[in-house]
Homo-oligomer: A and B are copies of this chain.
Amino acid sequence: MGLLVQKFGGTSVADADRMRAVADHIARTRRQGSDVVVVVSAMGKTTDELIRLASDVSRSQPGRELDMLLSAGERVSMALLCMALSDLGIPAASFTGSQAGILTDAVHTKAKIVEIRPVRIKDAVASGKVAVVAGFQGMSTEREVTTLGRGGSDTTAVALAAALGADACEIYTDVSGVFSADPRIVPDARRISRISFEEMLEIAATGGRVLALRSVEFARRHNVPLHVRSSFTWERGTWIVEEEPGMEQAMVTAITHDTSEAKITVAGVPDQPGIAARLFRALADHAINVDMIVQNTSSNGMTDISFTVPKDDLETSLTISSSLAPEIGAREVSADEGIGRISLIGAGMKTSPGVTAAMFEVLSKESINIEMISTSPIRISCVVRDEAVERSVQILHEAFELS
C-alpha cells in the first residue's frame, strides 16, 4: 500500500525495550505491504543532557558547534534502531540529515529546510531497505551541520514525506492523538479522529503541544496527510488532512489553553498613526514574538495598547517598551504575568456566528472576566485570569458538548 513515513519521538525510543518495540512495529508495517521511511529523534532526554554538557564546558557556545554537538543524539538512536531492525531480519540503513539530502539555510540552531534531495533514501527504499533518517538536522548551503530547532524532527518527517510523495506521515508520540481539550484538565476529553490542517494550525498556535506549528504548516502547504498516534498503544489516533467538501464541520472542535504568556500594557499614548508601528517594530527587531494585540477605543485623543508576549521575553519586552515610552508619549508601562488564554477552535465557526456570544455567556455565568479578545475565522481566544483557566476550559468543554 505504498510508502509511509513514520516518525518516532524521544520518548518512543527512550531505552532498549522501547527501541525494540518500535522495530517490531516497523516490521509489522512492512508485513502489511508498505515501504517505510523512518525519522527518529534522539533518545529520551539526550538532547537536554548534551545542552547541559555544553553549559558545563562553555559560556559562549557558538551555534555551529552547538549544532555539531546536538546532531550526535540522533546518530545514536538511528543506528540503534537499524540494529534492532536487523535482529528482526529487516534490512535497514541509517542516514544523517546531510546523507538524507536535507538542505537548510545557514542559521545555526534554528535552520529552515530549503530543499530536500533524498537520492540515497530513494535508493535505499528501492533496494528493499527501511531508511532510518535523523530528525532535527540537516546540512546548510555552506556544507555545515545544522539543527532545525523546536519541532525539528516533526518537520523533517513531514518534509521528507512531501519530497518522497509518501501516502502519509505518521507521527508517533506519547499521547494517542489530538484531544478536544487537555485530558489532564478535562478527563472526558474526546480524541478527535479527523481534523483539518487549518484547525490543527490554530490548535498548535494556541497551546496544543502535540505537534509543532511549523510541521503542520509544512504539511498543509504540501498536502501531506498526518496521522498522530501513540507508540505505546499503537491504536488509531488523529488524522490531520485537507478539508474536504463533505467533511463534518464541527462548530467547535477543540479547546486549548496557554499560560506561558504575560501581558504588557502601554497606557496613555496619543492616538496617532505610527505610534503602534514604532512600538512593535522595536519588539520585532529583538525577535520578540508578540501574540495578541488589543488597542482600546480612544478617549480624549489618548489610548491604551495591550499585548501578550512569552513570559521568557517579558523582561526584554518591558525594557524596550519603557525606553520607548518618552518617545511615543506614553504615560505608563505595566506588566501582568497572571493571565492565561483559552481558545475555541472549529472550522464550522465560519458559518455559525453565534459561537462568540455563546462563549462569552458561558464564562460570564461563572463570573469569569474576559480581559482581551482576538478572533480568526475559525478561532476565538480570550485572555482571563490564570487561576480561571482550568475552570474555563472545563465549563466550555461541557457547554459545547465536546465529550
Residues of A participating in the B interface, judged by any CB pair closer than 8 Å: 16, 19-20, 50, 53-54, 56-62, 64-66, 68-69, 71-73, 75-76, 78-80, 82-84, 86-87, 92-94, 96, 99, 143, 145
Instruction: Select from chain B the residue with minimum beta-carbon distance to A53.
Output: B80
* Bound Cα distance A19, B143 (Å): 27
Q: A64-B94, A65-B80 provided; 19 other pairs, C-beta below 8 A?
A: A16-B53, A16-B56, A53-B76, A53-B80, A58-B87, A60-B83, A60-B86, A60-B87, A61-B86, A64-B82, A65-B92, A65-B94, A66-B79, A68-B75, A68-B78, A68-B94, A69-B75, A71-B75, A72-B73
Instruction: Select from chain B the residue with minimum beta-carbon distance to A61.
Output: B83
Residues of the B chain whose Cβ atoms lie less than 8 Å from the Cβ of A93? 64-65
Check if B69 sits within 8 Å of A72, measured CB to CB: no
* Bound Cα distance A93, B99 (Å): 21
Instruction: Select from chain B the residue with minimum beta-carbon distance to A19.
Output: B57
In the complex with contacts A68-B75, A69-B76, A76-B50, A20-B62 CB distance below 8 A: no
Check if A59 sits within 8 Å of B87, measured CB to CB: yes
Residues of the B chain whose Cβ atoms lie less than 8 Å from the Cβ of A82? 62, 64-65, 68
Residues of the B chain whose Cβ atoms lie less than 8 Å from the Cβ of A58? 80, 83-84, 86-87
Check if A84 sits within 8 Å of B57, measured CB to CB: yes
A389, chain B: closest CB distance, angstroms? 40
Check if B72 sits within 8 Å of A54, measured CB to CB: no
Check if A62 sits within 8 Å of B83, measured CB to CB: yes
A240, chain B: closest CB distance, angstroms? 31
